[in-house]
Amino acid sequence: MIKHPGKAKIQRIHGEIPMINAASEEDFYFGLGYMHAIDRGMQLMFMKILGKGLGSQYLQSSDDMLQIDIFFRRMGWHLNTKSELEKLDEKDLSLIQKYCDGINAAYKKYKPWELKLLLGFKDFHWTPEDTIVLIRMTGYLTLAQSQGEIERFFLHLVRLDVGSDLLKELFPNILDEFDSELIKQIKIVNPIIPDEVKWMNALSPTMASNNWVIGNQKTKGAGAILANDPHLEINRLPNVWYEISGTTGESAFHGATMPGIPSIILGRNEHLSWGVTYSFMDAIDSWIEDCKGTEYRSKESWKKFQKREEVIKRKKKNDHIQVFYDNERGTLEGNPEVDGDGFYLSTKWSGSNSGALTLKAGFQISRSKSVEEGMKTAENIEAAFSWIFADKDQNIGFQMSGLMPIRSGKGFTPQKGWEDKNWEGYHPGHKLPRIYNPPENFIITANNDLNHLGEVKPINMPMASYRADRIHDLISNRNDHNPELSKEIQYDLESVQAKKFMKIIKPLLGDTKAHKVLKNWDYKYNKESVGAYVFEQIYQQLYVETFGNILDPKLVTLIGNDTGIFADFYTNFDLILLSEKSAWFGSMSQEDIYRAAIKKATQKELKTWGEYNSITLKNILLGDSLPSWLGFNKGPIPLEGGRATIHQGQVYRSANRTSSFGPSFRIVTDMATNAIETNYIGGVSDRRFSSNYTNDVKNWQNKEFRKYIINSGKDT
């Protein structure tokens, strides 16, 4: 039993997961806060420091850290937090305060030595406002941000004089009319997130994920089955997820939380299970602003920007004063008082002033008892996610969440600010894609296009449907599904994408060793596969041969090696690579391009996929700064899977560091039972010298799940 100042009883159960038995929700959330700070106290404070733009004050005073702080201050997630909390009722305010009280009680007992001794950090304290900041961070970073990045990529292509026919082919059906000459005059077009921010290990990208729910008409002797495996950056310690079991006197539940946010984000209670993926909703827009000094042009007059000065304190250096210019359309990129009059971009994210409704829904979801209640709760979540549900009465459902702007145009190309085509609020949640008890008796979301399920169409740039198509085939072809089959599906390594490309590649192969390997490849990305390695070399070279016709081949290589653009939005590029004819081919034929790519790619030394595609789990604070023998990092670990396999295993470079997309936390549950099975990479604790630092890595590698019984809290 864990001693603490609260009323709940806390013990470690299967896998050292905390079990919090409480008589009330207040007592449970106190216990959750306490355990978040005991096991992930360093992670909590690190995220708070970054989210509020305090890295230069508390972590280091480098120029890179200053840019990180400037980014977070620009986003302004630390602003308007008190007014956001005023939206909560007395009950929810009590719960969030109890959660904070639990964190602060733990910090009185224990303070993470890395922050205390190495950095001299002393301000160990958590408030409800800090949770609001973290909710905003979680909803934006590499979620809404990914849409912003591809929109910036479009602007860069325009500025490189890429023709409109090429752009329309690369971005089909989403381009509004745009003025290419005006876009070229914009003074600053930066990435939506600077490279310095992407460098931070603590900011785990959330991107590709799978979830599905199967109704009892397709399960043999089982109830509705729900499975979920969110794909995050997994080459980090600790894992972004924190597993928990709990009771409140009225409900019992088990699932995954994120330290700093008091809710079960994916999991189940006795009556209802829920899972989540990212939806790829377009919730971020930019406008071109015509600026003169501190003024910007509107439809009928010139208006003053709201000038915001942020003071960034720096260790052993003078304070840095950063000025931002805000208006009704967002925050300006650049400083017209310094850089001169002209055209600039202002950018706005729909969740900039969010948090309260998401927090409220987080409390509510653990109490929900039916799919309909879960869907109604998810409608109010402000970040863009795809939620699935299954209940004891064998109902299944899907609901998209997020603040989708009511906008003029499609939202991909920047509007002229002086035309005052601003957002006019947000579409209500019930108009977003959703479905309840579909006739096929199963639901799949895998970041694919789900617009057909809604009254409005929130997705401009989905991920390719390869994973969703493969899951659909594996589920639809049988009616005897059970939890074991869903686990097998989660680990599936066959690539629908590779099959499509190999139809073109195979007839062009010769008799060299690499060619023979590829001819006999089974399209699976297991760690022993040499075929997967050879195919990926050809696939990457196809990008250079095709898009290097128009762009500088070195630029294409840079985009592929050092950004997530190809990793996130490969579906648009694949449409061109798989086309028989394309304006991007220039004077070459499709066969010419493929032959050139095959010739260059197959001259490399052969490797297994595991040798090529591996990760090292690195401490989010210390990274590579300490010798490897101290054990703060773990690896290398071969990562099976690829970009288009259900078990996704992408490894790529981003801002001079290795990043990844992989299954970070798996759940499978059968609603005919009270059991939930989980598997995740990492451990409960962020303490290097704790036995719980990496205690679940082997289970993750060996495909071993732990089973928990919801009503008793006892492991099996």
Residue 194: cis peptide before it, omega within 30 degrees of 0: no
What dotted CATH number matches 496-611? 1.10.1400
Q: What percent of the chain has pLDDT over 90?
A: 78
pLDDT of residue 715: 45
Residue 622 has pLDDT above 90, yes or no: no
Q: Where are the domains of the chain?
A: 496-611
Does residue 196 register a pLDDT over 80?
Answer: no
Average pLDDT of the residues of the chain:
91
**Percentage, residues of the chain above pLDDT 70:** 95
Cα end-to-end span (Å), the chain: 19
Half-sphere exposure of 104 (CA within 13 A, CB side): 12
Helix (H, G, I), strand (E, B) or coil at 249: coil
For residue 470, what pLDDT is reported? 98
Q: Are 655 and 199 in contact (CB under 8 A)?
A: yes
Mean pLDDT across the stretch 481-486?
A: 96
Total residues belonging to the chain: 716
Cα separations in angstroms, 12 against 15, 192, 195: 8, 42, 40
pLDDT at 562: 64
Minimum mean pLDDT range among 106-115, 271-280, 403-412: 106-115
- How far is 715 from 151, CA to CA, in rounded Å? 48
Tokens 């309840």: give the residue: 436
CA 253 to chain centre: 24
DSSP state letters, 643-686: TTSSS--EEEEETTEEEEEEE-EEEEEETTSSEEEEEESS-S--
Scan for tokens 């210390």, then name that residue: 622
Helix axes 356-365, 128-139, angle to 10 degrees: 90
Beta-carbon count within 10 A of 689 CB:
10
Distance CA 9, CA 22 (A): 6
Fill in the DSSP letter of residue 177: P
pLDDT at 207 over 70: no
Say what the pLDDT of residue 449 is.
Answer: 95
What 3-state DSSP class applies to 37? helix
Specify the amino acid at residue 539. Y
* C-alpha–C-alpha distance, residues 435 and 413, integer Å: 30
Give the model confidence (pLDDT) of 351-405 as tens digits.
999 999 999 999 999 999 999 999 999 999 999 999 999 999 999 999 999 999 9
Of 53, 2, 49, the closest CA to residue 30 belongs to 2
- Write the CA distances from 700 to 77, 449, 463, 550, integer angstroms: 34, 30, 25, 43
Pairing between β-strand 614-619 and β-strand 236-237 as defined by DSSP bridges: parallel
User: Strands 272-278 and 342-349: what pairing?
Assistant: unpaired
pLDDT in tens, 628-647: 888 899 999 999 999 999 99
Q: Which residues contact 5 (CB under 8 A, 6 or more apart)?
A: 105
Cα angle 655-169-156, degrees, rounded to a multiple of 5: 35
Distance CA 247, CA 20 (A): 6
**C-alpha 695, offset from chain centre:** 24
Residue 478: CB atoms within 10 Å = 10
Residue with tokens 């304190």, as numbered in its chain: 313
Mean predicted confidence (pLDDT) in 315-331: 96
Of 24, 46, 47, 44, give the one whose Cα is nearest residue 34: 44
Q: Contact, 350 vs 402, CB < 8 A?
A: yes
- CA distances 661 to 206, 497, 521, 664, 665, Å, are 8, 17, 24, 9, 12
In this model, does residue 205 exceed pLDDT 70? Answer: no
Taking residues 688-707, what's their average pLDDT?
A: 92
The band of 200, judged by pLDDT with boundaries at 50, 70 and 90, is: very low
Distance CA 374, CA 370 (A): 6
Q: Are the beta carbons of 464 and 571 closer than 8 angstroms?
A: yes
Q: Count the helix, strand and coil residues of the chain and give each as a percent rounded to the nearest 5.
A: 35, 25, 40
**What is the mean predicted confidence (pLDDT) over 312-324?**
95
Cα angle, residue 22 at apex, residues 21 and 24 outer, rounded to 5°: 155
Burial 305-336 (b: 16+ CB within 10 A, else e): beeeebebebeeeeebebebbbbebbbbbbbb
Tens of pLDDT, residue by residue over 566-610, are 777 889 999 999 999 999 999 999 999 999 999 999 998 999 999
